Amino acid sequence: MSSSSASAATAAIVRRAQERFEASWHDVRTATDRFFAKLMVGQWVFGIVVALTFSPYGWEGKVKNVHLHVWIAVVLGGIIASLPILLAATRPGWVGTRHVIAAAQMLFSGLFIHLSGGRIETHFHVFGSLGFLAFYRDWPVLVTASAVTALDHLIRGIAWPESVYGILGPEKWRVLEHVFWVLFAAIGLAISCLRSLKEMRLIAERGAEIEALAEGEWRRSSVVDRVSAQATA
């Protein structure tokens, strides 16, 4: 085989490997979009159940009213879930879809923390959400999620600290402590995403090489068959 033929064959293998990698990663992102669309619906329903369980009613004098938390869970939860669900249905695999989903997922974490009155257990929803977002194998998504959580804790920590920490007047450094642990988890997951992409690329390259070898063997067999047919004719 001449050097030009070898270079063309190598370029074809590289191109095919890239195509296989992109197709595989697109499938991963599309499947993850659909997973989060279902999760958004479940979280919306769960938030309403939490609001109805913890504080379903409020009293103004002798009048019994539906508590504000219930309306927050119904209305705000629906608003948070609606756009991610729409994008997952209409634009699966799109980069904007997964970043919107990342932001919405962390807003749901903030909503649950608020509905529970800042219970420490609900803060674990943040870390679980980061783990789910790592399914995308796209580390910038984790940056979006971390930024949304940091802003949520900072703004509500100043304006309404009870809804984040469950107490009035928390220490000033409390928000930095929470953000630090979020970043700690996000960095670890980002490293995992990069390693997963590297493995996907290696698998794609090996698949492309096997395809090229199989195609070359098939062509050689076809040539041999034609030569044998001509010799016996």
For residues 206 and 16, is the Cβ–Cβ distance under 8 A? no
Amino acid at 148: V
First to last CA, the chain: 29
Question: Would you say residue 180 lies in a domain?
Answer: yes
pTM of the model: 0.83
Question: Would you say residue 25 lies in a domain?
Answer: yes
Question: Would you say residue 232 lies in a domain?
Answer: no
Nearest CA-CA partner of 163 in 104, 103, 105, 111: 111
Count of CB atoms situated within 10 Å of the CB of 33: 24
**Local confidence pLDDT in tens for the 233 residues of the chain:** 555 555 766 777 778 888 889 999 999 999 999 999 999 999 999 999 888 887 665 545 555 556 777 888 889 999 999 999 999 999 999 999 999 999 999 999 999 988 888 788 888 999 999 999 999 999 999 999 999 999 998 888 787 777 777 676 677 778 888 889 999 999 999 999 999 999 999 998 888 888 777 665 555 555 444 555 555 65
**pLDDT for the residue 104:** 97
* Total domains in the fold of the chain: 1
Question: Would you say residue 230 lies in a domain?
Answer: no
Question: Would you say residue 18 lies in a domain?
Answer: yes
Q: Which domain holds residue 185?
A: 3-215
Question: Would you say residue 221 lies in a domain?
Answer: no
Question: Would you say residue 65 lies in a domain?
Answer: yes
Question: Would you say residue 233 lies in a domain?
Answer: no
| Tokens 């209305």 sit on residue | 75
For residue 34, how far is the Cα from the chain centroid?
A: 10
